[in-house]
Amino acid sequence: MARYPTELALHVAGEWRGAQGRRTLPVVDPATGDTLGQLAMATQDDIEDALRSARETFASWSHTSAWDRDAILQRTRQLVQERRNAIAEILTLENGKPLADSQGEIDRVLETLQFCGEEAKRAYGRLLPPRGKGLAQTTVKRAVGPVAAFVPWNFPLVLAARKVAAALAAGCTVVLKPAEETPASCIELVRAFIDAGLPPGVLNLLYGEPAQISRTLIDSPVIRKISFTGSVPVGKLLAAQAAKHLKPATLELGGHAPVIVFDDVDVDKVARMCAAFKFRNAGQVCLAPSRFFVHERIAADFRERFASAARAIRVGNGLDPATQMGPLNNRRRLEAAQRLVQQACDGGARIAAGGERIGSRGFFFAPTVLTDVPEGATLLREEPFCPVAPIMSFGDIDEVLARANGVDVGLAAYAFTNRLDRASEFSERIEAGWIGINSFTPLLADAPVAGMKDSGLGAEGGPEGLDAYLHTRFVSQSSLPT
């Protein structure tokens, strides 16, 4: 049986702060509904101490050489690798995803730590052609300041690593606020940074009342940069709060990714690929395909094969090696899945697979396939974030692109075709920042995620992600006249 930490503490100003004198929140195992542990909730004093710590350590950390910052990130990577089995079990217990998926998430963490550490040494400025004799004009990049980073529960480790590693590599100090549903995995990540030699106070970890923490951090003059991954409504709220103080914000928000399957593909192979990626992490993925548009010539065959693949998925406790899909993370997501299916069926949709909760213990919902979904269904307008896949047919590319682009978000989009002209037209006309042609790709350390429309602001990942934590300065220097 996997071990879950008995104490879930905050890390503030270089010290662990446990439940003593603080309210606690139960952390629930989504596979059983049982309580895993009690999470310490930050007081206002804890939040203020974290801000003070981030401010006081910024000067020394931002002036630490990029080579030394890289060394700490690489040592952190080594420690995460050494502890990966224990961390993966913790992540599966509190998130619900299969153990193999937790291991895969840790692979992305390792890649991110390595890339960001190396990229710290490549934060180059520019040398401009001089405008006169004895004149040197350059740009230099420097850390923007202390950062407030907010992380959701669906990929708590890798999303925290992307923010923290990039910010630390740039020379920023960080106050990290992950989700209360999945605290222990981020605690282990922070522990690895500390054990790797990160100076006390450079990285602070808070859990508690989300509105209280976000409001205090964003309103504080200490924080100079906001990074948030989560829902569109919360992202807009935080962006408005940051805008009042003219603070830059990187926002990776929700999506509703279309998949367009043309009639020149191997239907069986593409259907199985689509089903496998759709039901990854029980559909709780911002980049997940969530609207399937299939050419009318192959639509019936595709629906049958996709539904067959969905019914074959082994659903169970993520600690069971045979499990391919675990539970939804919390009761809210389970109830949302039930509402979406019921509302679509009330409008005339048909269930081709799944459509209901599995058992009465935990938050399991069957991989679900719906056909004949009415255009006005909530499922087609809002990100489902659950294992429910609507499949619709289309006739021509103009029609399907209009439907695919007909939502307020634009995070990811996918197309399957063997024709280069179709692939090129899709990549040019689709309104999304993460585009896959004949493939699905997980988060990559060296690739940016930058949503369009309501899917966010700025980019995370790649050199662009590190650049978000840097301020570019122009320096014009001349010798004094003689």
The catalytic residues are 252, 286
Q: What tokens were used for 132?
A: 């006169």
Instruction: For residues 204 and 191, give the distance between their C-alpha atoms in angstroms, rounded to a whole number.
Output: 11
Nearby residues of 25 by Cβ (< 8 Å), 6 or more positions away? 38, 39, 41, 180, 207
